[in-house]
Amino acid sequence: METRIAWLVPAVRRGAYWQPVLREFTKIYPQTKFYTSQTWPGFDPDAPGANVITLIGKYRFQETKTVESGYNRGIILVSPTVVFPLLKYKPQVVFVSSFSIWTVLAIALQPMGKWKLILVYESSSPNVDFRDSPLRSNLRRWMTQFMDTFISNSRRGKDYLVEILGVDANNISARPYMVPDTQTLLHNRSEDQSQSLALKSPIFLCVGLLVPRKGVKYLLQACAILRDRGYSEYSLVLVGDGEQRAELEAFVKDHQLEQQVTWTGWLNYGDLGTYFNEADVFIFPTLEDTWGVVLLEAMAFGKAIVSSKWAGASEMVVEGENGYVIDPYEPEKFAEAMMKLIDDPELIQKMGQKSQELMAEHNAEKAGLFLASQVEKVLGKQHQT
């Protein structure tokens, strides 16, 4: 009898990168069901990988506290009816995402279902960890007692599980599983699509929501510093949209940065590859991101990186080799990193090559194998690859 796997992930709203990873995972474990309450824009339920995804109920985030510089705090509300297809499916292994209501249900039903539990903790960040909440921390410690093993994208996530929740470090695998697939990012590219953005080089690219948490305001402050120091021969392309756009556009106008800054608005995931191809440097000014797969997407396209230290994925940056890690609250540091790259085109090229080398171990196929290895770990089997 084939091993049956279930995933309980409340939402994958900006998770088009899940599809290629699931495609590879299901080559090893074809009997897989991925239950979620919300998928990404452009979701195709018949696509390889996505065809194992089943929508259950509605997703709602009940906000309890607004945080200007980070994730808003609250409670994820999802339908408890997931228990019915889960019990009917009878999986041997269940991947549970973080510490949601679905995780509690998987624990409660474990004596009946007799499945192994793998807890997936994306990574650590202040407003996701809730380290300042004894109630949440104690509830999470209770949940960890029922898990057979743990995985996280980052060392930061592993440290949280060990230091705050008391998990045995030997039972945690820290390796990126949320990784990009370049062909998926180029999915919408047509043969006659422009091959050049026709902008001043070097081209700095920033992709993300235009909301305070993403730190674009501090990036634009860095651009203002560049202008004051006589730097104008570069371009900044901002891909995305959001509530802060009008404020940011006003800043650009007030500081006479219109010749440097280009706005694209929101783009489909399959259109992003064109912009990654044309850019020289990817810049990630976030004030809080548990992971930030967009940084890995840029690395997969061979880009030099300037990343905020508040992104979990900043662990993928080797300082001075494929980019720089800075504190976005210090725009001067941002400006200095950008100046180094503007002044040295060869450095941009060397860093881009290093990014691509680092990403050789982090593609959809290897992420699928890694996730499959966790199944084998809890079932006491060994998959031959």
29 membership: H or E segment, kind and range: none
**What's the CA gap between 61 and 100, in Å, rounded?**
11
Q: Compute the mean pLDDT over every residue in the chain, rounded to the nearest whole number.
A: 94
| pLDDT of 383 above 50 | no
Contact by Cβ (8 Å): 76, 101: yes
Whole-number pLDDT of residue 13: 80
**What's the CA gap between 15 and 348, in Å, rounded?**
29
If asked whether residues 277 and 168 sit together in one domain, one would say no
Contact by Cβ (8 Å): 227, 254: no
**244 or 384, which is more confident:** 244
Whole-number pLDDT of residue 124: 95
Average pLDDT of span 62-70? 90
If asked whether residues 90 and 210 sit together in one domain, one would say no
If asked whether residues 169 and 190 sit together in one domain, one would say no
pLDDT, tens digit (0-9, with 9 covering 90-100), for 266-317: 998 889 999 999 999 999 999 999 999 999 999 999 999 999 999 999 999 9
In a domain, 220, yes or no: yes
| pLDDT of 251 above 90 | yes
Please state the separation of Cα 252 from the chain's center in Å.
Answer: 28
| pLDDT of 110 above 90 | yes
Q: Which two tokens stand for residue 93?
A: 């292994």
If asked whether residues 170 and 289 sit together in one domain, one would say no
If asked whether residues 354 and 367 sit together in one domain, one would say no
Looking at the 3D structure of the chain, how many domains does it have?
2
If asked whether residues 128 and 257 sit together in one domain, one would say no
User: What is the C-alpha R_g of the chain?
Assistant: 21
Contacts of 384 (CB under 8 A, 6+ apart): none
**What's the CA gap between 292 and 311, in Å, rounded?**
6
If asked whether residues 82 and 199 sit together in one domain, one would say no
In a domain, 81, yes or no: yes
If asked whether residues 130 and 41 sit together in one domain, one would say yes
The pLDDT confidence band at residue 43, using thresholds 50, 70 and 90, is: confident
If asked whether residues 232 and 329 sit together in one domain, one would say yes
In a domain, 212, yes or no: yes
Q: Classify 152 as helix, strand or coil.
A: strand
CA distances for 358 relative to 149, 297, 301, 321, 350, angstroms:
27, 12, 11, 10, 12
Q: How far apart are the first and last CA of the chain?
A: 20
Residue from 366, 296, 362 nearest 27 by CA = 366
Whole-number pLDDT of residue 196: 58
In a domain, 384, yes or no: no
In a domain, 240, yes or no: yes
| pLDDT of 158 above 70 | yes
| pLDDT of 194 above 50 | no
Residues 352-355: contacts with CB within 8 Å, 24+ apart? 352/280, 352/302, 352/303, 352/304, 352/322, 353/302, 354/318, 354/321, 354/322, 355/298, 355/299, 355/300, 355/302, 355/303, 355/304, 355/305, 355/322, 355/323
If asked whether residues 215 and 69 sit together in one domain, one would say no
Whole-number pLDDT of residue 48: 86
> Residue 132 sits in which domain range?
5-179+363-379
Whole-number pLDDT of residue 15: 75
In a domain, 331, yes or no: yes
Whole-number pLDDT of residue 384: 39
The verdict on pTM exceeding 0.85 is yes
Please state the separation of Cα 354 from the chain's center in Å.
Answer: 21
If asked whether residues 213 and 349 sit together in one domain, one would say yes
If asked whether residues 318 and 341 sit together in one domain, one would say yes
In a domain, 385, yes or no: no
SS3 content of the chain, % helix, strand, coil (to 5): 40, 20, 40
Q: Write the CATH number for 259.
A: 3.40.50.2000
In a domain, 200, yes or no: yes
The edge-to-edge listing of strands for the beta sheet with 116-121 is 53-55, 32-36, 5-8, 93-97, 116-121, 149-152, 172-174
Contact by Cβ (8 Å): 312, 153: yes
The pLDDT confidence band at residue 190, using thresholds 50, 70 and 90, is: low
Q: Which two tokens stand for residue 275?
A: 């912009």
